[in-house]
Amino acid sequence: MEYSLLRFLTVQALGLMVVLFTACAEPRPTEEHVSVLLEAAEERLLDLWIDAERAAWIHNTFVTTDTAALASDAKEAVIEATVELAVELSRFDGQNLPAGITRKLLLLKTSREGAVPSDPVLREEIFDILAEMERAHGQARYCLGDGQECLTLFQTERVFAETRDTDELVDLWTGWRGSVSPSRSRYARFVELANAGSVDLGFSDIGELWRSGYDMTPGELSEEVQRLWTQLKPLYESMHCYVRSNLSEEYGTAMVPLNGPIPAHLLGDLWGNDWTNIFAVVAPTRSNPWYDLTRLLEANSLDALEMVQLGEGFFTSIGFDPLPLTFWQRSVFVEPTDREIICHPSAWTVDHGTDIRIKMCLDVESEDFITLHGELGRNYYQRAYRHRTPLYRTGANDAFHEAVSGAIALSITPEYLTQVGLLDQLPPNQQGIDLLLRLALDKLASLPFSLVVDQWRWKVFSGEFGPEEYNEEWWALRTEYQGLSAPVPRHEGNFDFGSHPYITADIPFIPHFLANILQFQFHRALCTAKGFDGPLHSCSIFGSLEAGYSLKTMFEFGASRPWQDALEAVTGERHMDATAVLDYFSPLQAWLEERNAGKACGW
């Protein structure tokens, strides 16, 4: 008994020593201690971000094998540092720390750069897989029947948009998907590795990591997305019904039955994400557009530089400062003739401070004019939060930059065009069904596609189904949400889900879904701030200092506060609300209901 008591006391003493040793070796973190570590992490990341942004800018504006390698190396350096810091600082998770510190720790963990394994061997493997999938898309070619002409993705999209021959459309649709099918097995391995990286940071899978960056739980975000879609589904179904009816007239009921999904190859877009290319097929009888913006730009003899100057004038009219001299010196407005560049429009903050730029290959035409205004909106947003600490130098959430860009684009209305002298007078038809339908074929059509892409990926990441069911589940979701079907039978050897480059590039789509809702919510609130009284689709905030003040307030927050605070600064609301989309398209909805009368809508 004495031995047992002695043994008991010895064990207790050893336990106490372990506790005391642990407490001395790793003291309870203090606010000051974690703040110092975070400050050092932010300084290190900012230097790497700037290096990566400069390398990416050079590659985007001077495309060579060498500039691509330099940009890739700089990006990998950012990823490696982010993973290292996120894993290191994750030991403070769950500690009783101030809200600002906790917010920064979460922002670091949920950044897209962090979702790779901390194990160097596995990290190198995922880098290789992502690079291989990117190369597969970049080098993929669809060769026409005789094999004499082989098309890139960009060329395939252009031909697809302009073709109405159904056999050729099927060939293009299936041919492109076949050209990228070798990436299918790589994608399955990518999922395993990305999930491993997410587990290193304390998440169950990469889908949970993505959904954790929205100032709500992952489950709450999933519910929010479904709630917003429920608000919009009736409007989408009305447009789907109208488009299906017109396509059935064009191609016959044998190809487009009036009571089922629309064959996905008939919508003018390889993925059924944007239906604007079939506007001529579904346009109202005796269509009479309000105006042709491209012709207005040409008639006023504007060049690319003058288009940008008009765009700057939009923002100075609502109270923003003029763009810095370096913007005009360093931006790219037209495609150079002496080198290859990546023409996709983009807004840049190269030093994450005052060095803001845009990169566009501007043509004097309507789409580029509207896109330009949106990209400048991103630039003004970037400049406004430059005074924040590095982790806060981004949008309130992943959707806000795109939402701001879209909201500014909604102000390019006949009212704006008359105020800047491009249009002589406002058109008499204030409903503008043509323009509303064209915009709906873009904005509304993209909503369920964006939802499907990430609903599918969330299920893949969580293990709800495996590679042997990838394609089956992909088409089940596309039919459920979009009301679309494959034009020919598909099987599990196909890579339909990965034919879009954003999927294999690991770019989330839910931000696009949310941005397409938030932009209308912003637009409605900004028009209210202006005191506008009329149809929402005819409002422009040009010249409204009140609207500009609301935007500046939100811009300056960056990511320093929850997105609900940023939303409230502009709208007075703390919840995303799709009724603004319904308000904007209400004239179109009434018009669609008349055209759909007596038809069996839905699928």
Three-state SS letters, 504-542:
HCCCCCHHHHHHHHHHHHHHHHHHHHHCCCCCHHHCCCC
Q: Which helix (H) or strand (E) holds 120?
A: helix 120-139
pLDDT at 503: 87
**Residues 256 and 248 sit within 8 Å (Cβ to Cβ):** yes
463: left (phi over 0), alpha (psi -120 to 50) or beta: left
Beta carbons within 10 angstroms of residue 571's beta carbon: 22
Determine the 3-state secondary structure of 359 from DSSP. Answer: strand
pLDDT at 286: 59
**Residues 258 and 248 sit within 8 Å (Cβ to Cβ):** yes
Q: List, in order, residues 6 or more apart from 318 with CB less than 8 Å away.
A: 541, 542, 543, 544, 545, 547, 548, 551
pLDDT at 137: 79
Average the pLDDT over each of 46-60, 178-192, 559-573, 576-590 and give the range with the smallest value.
178-192
Sign of CA dihedral 526, 532, 536, 542: negative
Higher local confidence (pLDDT), 96 or 312: 312
User: Is 60's pLDDT higher than 70?
Assistant: yes
Q: What is the pTM of this model?
A: 0.91
d(CA 526, CA 518): 12
pLDDT band at 287 (very low <50, low <70, confident <90, very high): low
Average pLDDT (164-172) is 93
pLDDT band at 587 (very low <50, low <70, confident <90, very high): very high
Determine the 3-state secondary structure of 151 from DSSP. Answer: strand
pLDDT at 16: 40
pLDDT at 95: 87
What are the tens digits of pLDDT across the range 442-462? 999 999 999 999 999 999 999
The highest-confidence range among 62-66, 96-100, 197-201, 403-407, by mean pLDDT, is 403-407
User: Is 360's pLDDT higher than 70?
Assistant: yes
User: Is 23's pLDDT higher than 60?
Assistant: no
Write the burial class of residue 47 (CB in 10 Å: 0-12 exposed, 13-18 middle, 19+ buried): middle
pLDDT band at 31 (very low <50, low <70, confident <90, very high): confident
Percentage, residues of the chain above pLDDT 70: 93
Q: List, in order, residues 6 or more apart from 519 with CB less than 8 Å away.
A: 402, 403, 404, 405, 406, 407, 409, 410
Residues in the chain: 603
Average pLDDT (375-387) is 97
pLDDT at 136: 82
User: Is 20's pLDDT higher than 70?
Assistant: no
d(CA 422, CA 293): 9
SS3 for 262-306, per residue? EEHHHCCCCCCCCCHHHHHHHCCCCCCCCCCHHHHHHHCCCCHHH
What are the tens digits of pLDDT across the range 370-380? 999 999 999 99
User: Is 221's pLDDT higher than 80?
Assistant: yes
- The mean pLDDT value of the chain amounts to 90
pLDDT at 106: 93
Average the pLDDT over each of 342-346, 392-396, 568-572 and give the range with the smallest value.
342-346
Average the pLDDT over each of 183-197, 221-235, 520-534, 536-550 and give the range with the smallest value.
183-197
Average pLDDT (383-391) is 97
